[in-house]
Chains A and B, each alone.
Chain A
Amino acid sequence: MTGRVQAARILLRAYPASWRDRYGEELATILEGRSLTLPIVLDVLRNGLLQRIRCAEAWQIGGIVLSTWLVVGTALNSVRPFPGWAYDLFWQFDSCILMAIGYLSISRDRKSLLAAAVATGRAALVGIIPELVLGVLWMAGLVHPTILQPNGSPMILGHGITDLCIRAGVAVPPTHMLLVPLAAAIPAAVVGALGAMAARFVSAFREGLRPGNIR
């Protein structure tokens, strides 16, 4: 295999497998026939990423958005602790993302109501990965406990249930810090189901507005 053919194969990995099955051979032929300059490499990588987003299901994109949101929140809160209203706003926005995942699972991915709720739960599980990593680091003694504690701590890791425990003054041992966020997938699925029902409602409303359906 020549270097150019090999480079084209590597570049094609930027695209999702389903897309590669359909268009990969054609794109590879073009890439193999020309020198791969930086603008061409960037063009292929950028479009590969866009195709991955287009081909991804709502829960996959939502999971990445949720985990990014958590990392950004943790980083900001580490620099300067959130006041109460900002903390509440942070988790309310998290719920909005969950609802959007449920909504898109119906409107974009054409899932059933139950599948949309399960998809939102899966997204929540992806979204708590940074939280779990911090929990593991805490248990390993690599992160100071205050990072996971309220009241003057840099970060109050909550994700719903944990947050309620902390607010109620219940001691949360490190193992619970790992298990409790996992249980947050259940309320996440409920929020996702609400979003899915909203999508059904909007769809029915639009259907009713069609000229042929107005009496």
Chain B
Amino acid sequence: MARKLTAGPFSDPELLILASLAEGQKHGYAIMTDVLTFADVELGPGTLYSAITRLVEMRWIEPCQPSGRQRPYQLTPAGGRHLQTQLAKMRNLAKIGLKRLRVI
């Protein structure tokens, strides 16, 4: 069963969208299904488009040529750098947390 967006690293819809677009350009519905697949998180349509609006304003993603009624989005170089920084921080945090729990 898919988790709702609550707390934790998966609670940031912007990061989930950036991670989804790291694979290549996608439109809104494709992002939703991809996030559900790789993160097991169900993004609501309203939440998805609010996050897309913010990401476009921050120039971390950009719209491509529309295909039918849908418009695909792709990562910008700045968006890619931001995603890389955030993921590196998360990896660091996970490493320290697991070490302190004596899991690794």
- Residues of chain A at the chain B interface (Cβ within 8 Å): 19, 23, 25-31, 33, 39-40, 43-48, 50-51
Residues of chain B lying within 8 A (CB to CB) of residue A28: 69
A43 lies within 8 A of B46 (CB): yes
The minimal Cβ–Cβ distance linking A125 to chain B, given in whole angstroms, is: 30
B44 lies within 8 A of A26 (CB): no
- Complex: how many Å from CA A40 to CA B49? 13
A29 lies within 8 A of B44 (CB): no
Show 30 residue pairs from A and B whose CB-CB distance is below 8 angstroms, ordered by the A residue. A19-B53, A23-B49, A23-B52, A23-B53, A26-B27, A26-B28, A26-B49, A26-B70, A26-B71, A27-B46, A29-B29, A30-B29, A30-B45, A33-B29, A39-B4, A39-B44, A40-B44, A40-B46, A43-B44, A43-B45, A43-B47, A44-B46, A47-B44, A47-B46, A47-B47, A47-B49, A47-B50, A48-B46, A50-B50, A51-B50
A44 lies within 8 A of B53 (CB): no
**Closest residue on chain B to residue A50 by CB atoms:** B50
Q: CB within 8 Å of A: which of B49-87?
A: 49-50, 52-53, 69-71
Residues of chain B lying within 8 A (CB to CB) of residue A29: 28-29, 69-70
The minimal Cβ–Cβ distance linking A8 to chain B, given in whole angstroms, is: 10
**Closest residue on chain B to residue A8 by CB atoms:** B45
> Apart from A23-B53, A27-B46, A29-B69, what are 5 other A-B pairs with CB-CB below 8 Å?
A43-B44, A43-B45, A47-B49, A47-B50, A48-B46
Most A CB within 10 A of own CB, among B29, B44, B71? B44
Most B CB within 10 A of own CB, among A23, A26, A43, A48? A26
**Closest residue on chain B to residue A44 by CB atoms:** B46
